Structure 1
Amino acid sequence: IYVDRQLHNRQVKGDLYDVFLFAWQIYPPINVLPSLSRLMKSAIGEGMTRKDHGDVSNQLYACYAIGKDVQAMKAVVGEEALTSEDLLYLEFLQKFEKNFINQGPYENRSVFESLDLGWKLLRIFPKEMLKRIPQAVIDEFYSREGALQDLAPDTAL
């Protein structure tokens, strides 16, 4: 695996670049967990983006963080020791990195396309596991038509 040392050694307000994502050819190789903007809250939501934006963002972030924890646990105890819920988080982690974080250098994905993609990924989980999204928002967005289209064929949900 080729590792770009310049990219790996770059420090932008912490470790925003993830050398492992880079090695897996995820572009841009942004480490999601430390890069969440605290300023985002004042620029999202109904009237600016979409009413589900904050809830989807929080749920995606939580699922990704749990997925990273499960991935670390898997390295210690092995996949056979993981619960079915843990395996859902691992599936989410893989598809989140492959389909959500990964954008081609010339891809121009809108906020609305990203929100729709976020919902596609959250559908990996049963509705009951989406604890950070109000039930009214789940009722409106979870079961949208065409929800499973447009993902990479090898990672289709």
Structure 2
Amino acid sequence: MYRLLVPVDANESRAIKQAEYVASRPESGDTLEAYLLFVFGEDEEDLPDGFNRFKSADRVGSVRRAREVLEGAGVEVTILEDSGDTADDIVDAAEEYDVDELVIGGRKRSPVGKALFGSVTQTVILETDRPVVVTGGGDGVATGGGNGE
């Protein structure tokens, strides 16, 4: 089984692009397992207790859309959630679930900004030794490696 970690944020179109990448892999279907990770921000921890009980990654639109795409392609999906520092949580989840690859959603950048990844993406690429694929709303897929690549 080839395991992929797909950390998604609240942007549905970016999450769909990530899921479409996974679903398009030649080994999709029975041989792929995707872990969809949504990290709640630290500011959301200050919600009143009544709201916290409804805080669930299953309720986030981007998570639901990505799951629909993946399950439609026959990919086994597990939903994960965390809260805190997004980059650290992504790297920790990759290690905990022993994933083979990370699929991160990139953001559109200005021409100057395209020279650098976003801070979360850049931190994940530098902190993991696992392959990282960066997808997004743009025209292509950029790939990066972890330490030592």
Q: TM-score, normalised by structure 1?
A: 0.26
Q: Which has the higher helix share?
A: 1
Bigger Rg, which one:
1
Higher relative contact order (CA 8 A, sep 6+): 2
Q: Which has the higher strand share?
A: 2
